[in-house]
Amino acid sequence: MIHLKDQQDIELSKCAPENFEISDSAWIKGLNTMQAAQAFVSTIIGAGVVSIPYVFAQAGYVVGILMHLVMIATLNFSVHLLLKSREYSGFESYGEIAYICLGRPSVFITNFIITSATSLIVVMYGMLFSNICASFAYNIYNSHQISIQDNTLAMIFTSKLLYIILLFLILLPFVIKKSIKDLNIAGKILFFGLTSLIVLLFAKINFKSQLSSPNDKVVEPYKYGTLADSSFIVMTAYGFMMSFFSIFTQLQVKTESNGFKSLIIGMLACFAIFMILSTLAVTLYGNNLQPNLFDNIQVEANAASLIMRILFLPIFVFNAPFVFLAGKESLLMIIDDLTSDFISNSIKKRLEFLKKQKMSSQNDNQWEAPIFERQDENNANGDLPNDNEVNNQRQHISERMSNKIYYPTAVALFVTQMFLSYVINDITIIIGFFTAIAESSVNFILPGLCFIMSSRMTDKKINVLSLIGSYIYVVIGVCLFFFAMYRNIMKIKRTVASI
């Protein structure tokens, strides 16, 4: 038998902001589970595919597979902490959750880290694309013994600038898209390039004599790899955490089970792709396999290797819009709170609601008015959101921002990234520093801290193991940050010493 007060509590809980956020799916026509899984695959599969095979060459199949499975389990627990933080706080972005848990400065710090890290990935893609295209032009002119310095047209076609501009024109229609659903064609092209690459590797193994050339070269085995290098490669390869909320918030039915289902399907699909690609690459190149598979392919003169180099291009190019999406949304979050205080006001109302809800739960013995009277009173006082507020809060950040702000911001960010792709020639050390910051903070520190802080704001029962795990993740993240920074500093010292 349910008492009147219990019924009232149940009804009141249905009016809470988190239930508007989680249960209702009428506001936005979003992604289904399989579409979200495809988006996760498109986000994960990127430049990491060129290094994943080296993990198996360096660590062996057993340790390599174990590394993958441990990383999948580790990141799934990170997602569990984030989704619980979302449930407890009622918000669904890194910036908003960090804001409600750690204060206003955290929204700017968190979103700046994500914008910077994703921008460096896009910059790296721009550099790879321009270098690969320029290398094709160099090979063509050198094979015809044409002097590049004495030929204006040759200088243009071997210039990075030409291919940076080309990449800008190719990707501009994709990077200004507001929804990840609009990037469906980019995901299909990326998948086609990856599938074709795997097919060609399989063909080179089984038809080696027919697909080889006397002019093929073999690189020397790489002797400086460590298990730590392999671990960082695997962690970077599964680097979807910065884009997690960008995908999750566009689910048609945003529940924890749907989020996990789409993520697990996507990660298992990537695991299978990585296994197939790694097995083929190790079989083909053996001990000569380099940390960058492209280094093995680019010294070969046969037609199959030339086609494989071309196939790397769509993998880099059409992974970029998925990475760009997370950075763009983080930048919009910063602009949104600086210009309109929308996030601040929403969080203040949410904090007030949580405080009153917690106080109400502590007064169980006091008489309470019927639910409809209480709801009307709360609405009159502005304690609960009305329909317009809920509808606006459910809107995606890209939809909420006016076009006058959205499009200039997206284009300006992309122009900056392409400019950096042109002026920077070696960003390995810079990427190392930002990777240390991004991977340690987004994968471990932020999920742990957000769970710890948000669990203190709710009267819901907290899983003790999750709470212990969140503290452990914060410690792991801090240790990972200092370890990665130490490795980068040592790399700088070795580079300076070799000059």
What's the pLDDT tens digit per position in 151-178? Answer: 888 888 888 899 999 999 999 999 999 8
Which CATH number belongs to the domain containing residue 65 in this structure?
Answer: 1.20.1740
pLDDT of residue 380: 42
Residue 321 lies in a domain: yes
Q: Which of 27-36, 103-112, 356-365, 404-413 has the lowest mean pLDDT?
A: 356-365
What share of the chain has pLDDT > 70, as a percent?
A: 82
Q: Total structural domains in the chain? A: 1
Residue 11: inside a domain? no
Phi, psi of 251 (to 5 degrees): -65, 145
Per-residue pLDDT at 362: 56
Q: How many angstroms from the chain centroid is the CA of residue 448? A: 18
Could you tell me if residue 41 is inside a domain?
Answer: yes
Whether residue 468 is contained in a domain is answered as: no
Domain that holds residue 249: 31-341+393-426
Give the tens place of pLDDT for each residue, 369-406: 333 333 334 444 444 444 344 333 445 677 778 889 99
In whole angstroms, what is the distance from residue 430 CA to residue 426 CA? 8
Task: For residue 23, tell me if it sits in a domain.
Answer: no
* Alpha-carbon span 224 to 232, nearest angstrom: 15
Q: At what angle do helices 428-440 and 227-237 cross, to 10 degrees?
A: 70
Q: Is residue 378 part of a domain?
A: no
Sign of torsion over alpha carbons 425, 430, 431, 434: negative
Mean pLDDT over residues 469-477, rounded? Answer: 94
Report pTM.
Answer: 0.76
CA 56/CA 450 separation, integer angstroms:
35
In a domain, 259, yes or no: yes
Is residue 252 one of the residues assigned to a domain?
yes
